[in-house]
Structure formats: structure tokens, C-alpha cells
Amino acid sequence: MRLVTFQTKLTGTTPRVGAWIEGDRIVDLTADAPDMCQFFEQNCIAATQRRIEQLDQKRAQQRATDVVFPVADVQLLAPFPRPASLRDFGVFKTHMDAAARITGKEISPEWFKLPNYYRGSTSPSSIAGHEAVVTWPNYTEKLDFELEWGVYIGKTGKNISVEEAPDYIAGYTVYNDISARDIQFRHMTLALGPAKGKDFDNSNIMGPCLVTPDEIGDAYNLRMIARVNGEVWADGNTSDMYYTFAEMISFVSQSETLYPGEFLGSGTVGKGCGWELDRWIQPGDVIELEVENIGVLRNQIGEPEVNPAAWTK
């Protein structure tokens, strides 16, 4: 099942839960649950399947319904517009090898022993969805995309084993971790960061939908593609992940309770960003990130913001 959070001109600005079904239609499921978190907390999958079957029957009988919208008529938000938390890992070996070559620093032996991540921003302004305009912060000259994907947690758990962890995955989505590289690398010389390198409006872009595990296929053999203005810049595969999402979930859950709506990102696939390629996006560029069996997350890069009060020290 492909689930979405969306808005329409008819329904107003309040986010609504929906299912993306055949024929590029969105079925409004807000009557089952008001938001994606409660959708999974209340285990609404079975009710959703029944609702879709009923709507298909109405459609076959040519009976009108006011809860189905063409995809072209809705604004797709991030599947969880306010994720409970955001942890972004770095589990693609090819990307780590490239970072080692660029920086001249070898991969730490600890990388092979335990997954590593940072906590990202989940403020309302930082989370964005399909077709949102990417903010170009006033303090960067090197804005970058990152071809990633990730999972949302679907139920509460703690001290989860690797074997049990797949049961905690609500679904998968495409993730574009927008990065201001010049300020990011300055922050990281301070043994912290990435701070303002990844913390600004519309910096965490997710979508276009959430795909439930039963429809994702082989999660560790999916093609990942990044296109800039229609040109392929990156072409990778999830098979390059050194750690699985099950391992990441188990690791994070040790002595820490996980709740529905928490997000775990994979980190960048090999050559999945401009920094690795030494190719840099520009204002007006259209970025399309595609993960097989999920879809295409598309966004346009905005013009650099102007702020006379920008930090200058």
C-alpha cells in the first residue's frame, strides 16, 4: 500500500491521510485516522483495504464519491509532516569510501562495528514533501542534494532484536537530505555538527509516499537514481548498505523507546550527492530522486535568500 499525507483546495490547509491507488488517485482516509501517526497506532491497514474495495465497487457502479482525488489535484506533504524524531545514518560503503578519498581520512574501524547517526531537525519548517521548493540559505554558496531513503517506525518498542525489527517498520520513503556543504564542513571541524549545514527551512524532504513493507519487494536490491534537470547524476542500489534497517532499528532501540512516526534515514548512496561528484546544483534546478518500488521525489531549487542580518563573524 502507498500512503500519503496531502492537502487540496477543497479540504483546506489541514493535512489529511490518504492512500495512493491505481489510476493515480488519492483516497481520503481521514475518517479512519486524523494523521499518519494515529493511522499506525490504531492499526488502520485492514480498514483502509476495506474502504478501497468499497470505493472500487462504487466506481464500477459509476456512483459518485467525494473522498477520491486525482493525484494532480492534491499537494503531497511528507508522509509524516511532523516525524517524532529524525535520525540519519551513514550505511552506504561506497559513499564512505568516497568521503575517505576526498578528505584523506581512512574509514574508522568502528564504522564496521556499530551504526552511526546524527539527530536531524523535525521542526515544522524543516520537513517538506514532493514539489516543495528547496530553500537556498543566505549563508551558503554550495548547496547539495543527497540521494537517500528511509523507514518510519510503526509501533512502540524498546530493546528490539534484529529479528523482530522488521515488524516495527511502518513503511519506506525517498529522502533528500539537503545540505549546505561549506558551512557543514566548518561546523564539523568543531567535532559537532552538521548544525546549520542541514538545519534550515525545507532541508529534510520526504516522499512522495510511504510504501508499506508488503509492497516494497526486496528492500536490499532496489535501484536508486538522482536526476538533475532530467540528466542522471547518480545511479546506485540499496544492496550497497552495510547495515540493514533492522540492524539500525535494533541499535537505536537499545535502552530507548521508539514510537510511531520516528524516521531513520539510510545516508547517501554512493555518488549520490554533488560533493562526491564535484558537480553543484544551481538555483532553478529540478532534482528528482527515485527509489525503485517507491517512486520519484521531485523538488526545485529556490533562489538564494537575501538577509542583511546574516551571520558574518
pLDDT at 115: 96
Contact 17, 36 (CB under 8 A): yes
List CB contacts of 81: < 8 A, sequence separation 6 or more.
5, 15, 36, 124, 127, 129
pLDDT at 198: 94
Low-confidence ranges of the chain (pLDDT < 70): 58-66, 311-313
What confidence tens digit (pLDDT) does each residue in 196-218 have?
999 999 999 999 999 999 999 99
Q: What residue segments make up the domains of the chain, in order of their start?
A: 2-77, 85-304
Three-class secondary structure assignment of 210-237 = EECHHHCCCCCCCEEEEEECCEEEEEEE
Q: Which CATH superfamily is domain 85-304 in?
A: Fumarylacetoacetase-like, C-terminal domain (3.90.850.10)
pLDDT at 176: 98
pLDDT at 59: 64
Q: What is the pTM of this model?
A: 0.95
What confidence tens digit (pLDDT) does each residue in 11-68 have?
778 999 999 998 899 999 998 899 999 999 999 988 888 888 887 776 655 554 568 9
Query: Identity (one letter) of the amino acid at 62?
Result: Q
DSSP-assigned letter for residue 258: B
pLDDT at 282: 98
